[in-house]
Amino acid sequence: MKQHIVLPHKQQITIPHIQPGQLVTLIGANGIGTSSLLKAIAGLLKVEGELCLNQLPLSDMTAKQRLEHIGYVPQALPQTTPLTPFEMLRSSLLHLQKTPEHQINTLITQVFKQLEISDIALTPLSQLSGGQRQMVAVANVLTRTPKLLLLDEPTSALDLRWQLKVINTLKQQVQRTNCIAIIAIHDINLALRFSDQVWVLGHAGVTHFGKPNDVVNSAMLAQIYGIKARVVTD
């Protein structure tokens, strides 16, 4: 099924068919609309057109169904509050009513361990750095085990070690739960390293979609970013 949407600034985008169990990186120049596209898919931005998840139109989903099936992490970091990350995630899961209550603590503990952030689980968010809060935001969406993960620059506040940790953990989540992850990112090296597919957004709705080695090349970099570059495989 071909799916098209028209973003508020009249940019028409054709959404490629994405199979479950794939990690897709969404790349493009600053201001091109990657954040707006993720918001549109998440249902946070009113757009024209139709999108389907597992053949179910997203427009037909209730708010509760969206929370169950779609996990969205925006660019903005979680607000600083007196709550600890453990309390924040537990409250989120109790509200969703998807995970049996007796399994919630175990699930949160497992995700914190996987992301290697167990040491900050009981530290108030108000005392955490921006990078630590970004890790908590990723943990929050992973505990919900949605069918579609949408993450807008989830590594922007992280150093190299934690960038690799987050992307690798997301890759493992995709493989383990057979979900779809679409990650907007500016680091093309990370995109090449971890992606099953790369989705490139250009001007006037121009898109490229396919395997990283097929999509990311000198011609694409010149067209999308206006630079002269070559791709070297190590």
pLDDT of 148: 96
pLDDT of 55: 81
Topology (CATH) of 3-77+146-225: Rossmann fold (3.40.50)
Q: Rounded to whole angstroms, how far apart are CA atoms 188 and 217?
A: 11
Q: Exposure pattern of 114-128 as b/e (b: 16+ CB <10 Å)?
A: bbebbebbeeebeeb
Chain centroid offset of residue 65 CA: 18
Determine contact, residues 109/156, Cβ cutoff 8 Å: no
Most distant pair of Cα atoms in the chain: their distance: 56
pLDDT of 2: 44
Domain edges within the chain: 3-77+146-225
pLDDT of 1: 36
Q: In a 10 Å sphere around its CB, with 0-12 CB exposed, 13-18 middle and 19+ buried, how is residue 225 labelled?
A: middle
pLDDT of 57: 84
Per-residue pLDDT of the chain (234 residues; tens, 9 = 90+): 346 677 766 578 888 889 999 999 999 999 998 999 999 899 888 878 778 888 888 878 888 888 889 999 999 988 889 999 999 999 999 988 888 999 999 999 999 999 999 999 999 999 999 999 999 999 999 999 999 999 999 999 999 999 999 999 999 999 999 999 999 999 999 999 999 999 999 987 778 999 999 999 999 999 999 999 999 887
pLDDT of 9: 63
